[in-house]
Chains A and B, each alone.
Chain A
């Protein structure tokens, strides 16, 4: 497909004798709402790490916006329009959400090497950070307190805010609502539903409600390899998918 913004071809990663990701070929078109599901240990997070370059591939290629980025380090892939959130919070405990988002914006604007002017002199960054957090309905008081003291749901929201601050073309959401109590999950689900259409989204998720509400296409990963791919209705009816999940339940 010529409009693919993110494409993998035979992407593989071995850890010693174990193959965590096995010849995965996946394509995300512009504005995609694609979900990647699979039982625990299916290799979903490893796959995300291969996409961003946090891990190097054992074989296969990653193409971002039509260009081969397999050999590029993570920070160069990010600069080309890829962003991710983490399944387990990766935040700055001592910084406030405003500071953290400012940090992400400064990085996007290529200002993070500037040392001769205080951050406070870059008024546009502070304004944008505030607007972004407001848009995600982060209360102003929380946005100005240290991240470590915030409720878990707000921290998950900040996870998403940090990725959005990069204004990505392709966004990888790794279980964005994981562990969030239902009382706090609304903002997160709303923020995902409100993602701009020009951003292609790959949602890695366990929560089937969220997947079937959000995704227009679903890929099922099992034991590192693609088990099935298709429209949500077809996936829901696929006996192999049921077996993969039921199998997990029987063992778990």
Chain B
């Protein structure tokens, strides 16, 4: 794919978000949520798609960020930016502390440990109702204006622009990271861990770093959800959130930042559209899409689109 075409497609992607702001004003709350989930899937991509470490418990960090930012605001500090950073810090700290457990043993062991940690956090949030509101959810989250200027409005305008801006900035940072020597080392670890060790890479330290980074990203996504909806329910820590994110990532294309975001968008839009049409049946269609993409080859939708473009361009 030529550089000009690549740039045009990226401009189209971000321009599409901006266009949606004007074209779909009644859907802004949903669009804000899509941007947030796109950020969450992006965080998963750093870990799964680039470093090749599969997790089934990534909702743990999303939920930690959501509760951290939500509780901070509920307790009287409603400043949004510091709330995001607080959510990121809490998630990153737990990521850093649990990384040695998760990275111990083989891939399957790690997978089970991620699952176990997320389950424990879910149950802890359920039991600690005095802090989290338990099954009723966290009430009384009140946000201040962003930079003292933009108030969170009923129509979700501020929520959307805020979420999208955070997504864009963190995408830029992620793009820098994956193109850096550190990012290449992650791809090396995914590709061949034994060789990386033989090249002198402290593989475990690199994995701890990306696990913590990915946790921080997920924490920010969770914090965004808490701030823009001014509510946190136990759902943020639910297993289905981890599983759905993995599904979105595979759907869109692992190891590509746009693949991650595209997967989230398509999944969320399809979820919304299909569940209105056939409420019980929408997972059936997602299942069909997954099978079709798996048969069509690796790289999810983005990989498929790239191959089609290459064939078309080759003629």
| A interface, CB within 8 angstroms of B | 52, 54, 74-76, 78-79, 83-84, 86, 90-95, 99-100, 102-104, 106-108, 111-120, 122, 125, 162, 166
The answer to whether A90 and B183 touch across the interface, beta carbons within 8 angstroms, is no
CA distance A113 to B180 in the complex (A): 9
Given the interface pairs A95-B191, A116-B176, the reply to whether A111 lies near B181 with Cβ below 8 Å is yes
B174 → chain A closest CB, angstroms = 10
Which residues in B have their C-beta under 8 angstroms from that of A113? 181-182, 185, 205-206, 209
CB nearest to B191 among chain A residues: A92
Using CB atoms, name the residue of chain A closest to B210: A115
Asked if A115 contacts B195 (CB within 8 A), the reply is no
- CB pair A86–B195 under 8 Å, yes or no, is yes
Q: Is the CB of B199 within 8 A of A93?
A: no
Q: Verify A107–B199 contact, CB threshold 8 A.
A: yes
Whether B187 is near chain A, meaning CB under 8 Å from some CB there, is yes
Residues of chain B within 8 A (CB-CB) of A83 are 198
The distance in angstroms between the C-alpha atoms of A18 and B87, with both chains bound, is 53
Task: Tell me, yes or no, whether B177 is within 8 Å of chain A by CB.
Answer: yes
Taken together as a complex, chains A and B put the C-alpha atoms of A104 and B195 apart, in Å, by 10
Is B187 a contact of A95 with CB atoms below 8 Å? yes
Within 8 A of A (CB), among B283-310: none
Known interface pairs A86-B195, A86-B198, A92-B191; A75-B203 also in contact (CB < 8 Å): yes
Q: A90-B192, A93-B191 are in contact. List 17 more A-B contacts (CB 8 A).
A: A75-B200, A86-B194, A90-B195, A94-B187, A100-B188, A103-B185, A104-B199, A107-B185, A107-B199, A114-B180, A115-B180, A115-B183, A117-B176, A117-B180, A118-B179, A119-B184, A166-B199
* 16 A–B contacts, CB within 8 A, in A order: A91-B192, A92-B187, A93-B191, A95-B188, A99-B184, A108-B200, A111-B181, A112-B185, A112-B206, A113-B181, A113-B185, A113-B205, A115-B176, A115-B182, A119-B179, A119-B184
Q: Complex Cα distance A94/B49, Å? A: 13
> How far, in Å, is A143 (CB) from chain B's closest CB?
16
CB-nearest residue of chain A relative to B202?
A75
A123 to B177, CA, bound (A): 17
A84 to B181, alpha carbons, bound, how many Å? 22
B107 at the interface (CB under 8 A from A): no
| B98 on the A face (CB < 8 A) | no
Closest B residue to A52 by beta carbon equals B198
- Residues from chain B with a CB closer than 8 A to the CB of A166 are 199-200
Q: Which residues of A contact B202 (CB under 8 A)?
A: 75
What is the CA–CA distance of A161 and B171 in the complex, to the nearest angstrom?
34
Distance, CA A86 to CA B192, complexed state (A): 12
Question: Which of B179, B200, B205 has most chain A Cβ within 10 Å?
Answer: B200
Cβ of B229 under 8 Å from chain A = no
Residue pair A75, B201 in contact (C-beta under 8 Å): yes
Identify the B interface with A (CB < 8 A): 176-177, 179-185, 187-188, 191-192, 194-195, 197-203, 205-206, 209
3 shortest interchain CB distances as A-B pairs: A78-B200, A92-B191, A115-B182
Whether the pair B192, A92 counts as a contact (CB closer than 8 A) is yes
**Chain B residue contacts of A104, Cβ below 8 A:** 199
Which interface residue of B176, B181, B201 has the most chain A CB atoms within 10 A? B181
Cα distance A232–B227 in the bound complex, in angstroms: 76
Q: Complex: how many Å from CA A29 to CA B107? A: 41
**Which residues of chain B are within 8 angstroms of A84 by Cβ–Cβ distance?**
198
Q: Which residues of A contact B206 (CB under 8 A)?
A: 112-113
Q: Find the A residue at minimum CB distance from B193.
A: A90
Which residue of the partner chain, among B184, B195, B201, contacts A91 with CB atoms under 8 Å?
B195
Inside 8 A of B195's CB, which chain A residues have their CB? 86, 90-92, 162
Minimum CB–CB distance from B139 to chain A (whole Å) comes to 39
Q: What chain B residues lie within 8 Å of A92 (beta carbons)?
A: 187-188, 191-192, 195
CA–CA, A99 and B202, complex, Å: 19
Contact at B200–A107, with CB atoms within 8 Å? yes
Across-interface contacts of A75 in B (CB, < 8 A): 197, 200-203
**How long is the Cα–Cα vector from A19 to B200 in the complex, in angstroms?**
28
Say yes or no: B197 contacts A112, CB within 8 Å: no
- Contacting residues, chain B, for A100 (C-beta < 8 A): 188
Chain B residue at smallest Cβ distance from A147: B191
Nearest B residue to A115 via CB reads B182
**A102 and B181 alpha carbons, distance in the complex (Å):** 9
- Residues of B contacting A78 with CB < 8 Å? 198-200
Chain B residue numbers with a CB within 8 Å of A99 are 184
Q: Cα distance A115–B181 when bound, in Å?
A: 6
A79 to chain B, nearest CB (A): 5
Cβ B180 vs Cβ A74 within 8 A: no
- A147–B191 alpha-carbon span in the complex (Å): 11
Partner of B181, one of A74, A91, A95, A119: A119
CB-nearest residue of chain B relative to A122? B181
* Nearest CB in chain A: distance from B204 CB, A: 9
Q: Give the residue name and chain of the A residue nearest to B188 (CB).
A: A103
State the CA gap A74–B203 with chains docked (Å). Answer: 10
CA of A84 to CA of B205, assembled, Å: 22
List, in ascending order, chain A residues with CB within 8 A of B188's CB. 92, 95, 100, 103
Supposing A78-B200, A162-B199 touch, asked if A116 and B180 sit within 8 A by C-beta, the answer is: yes
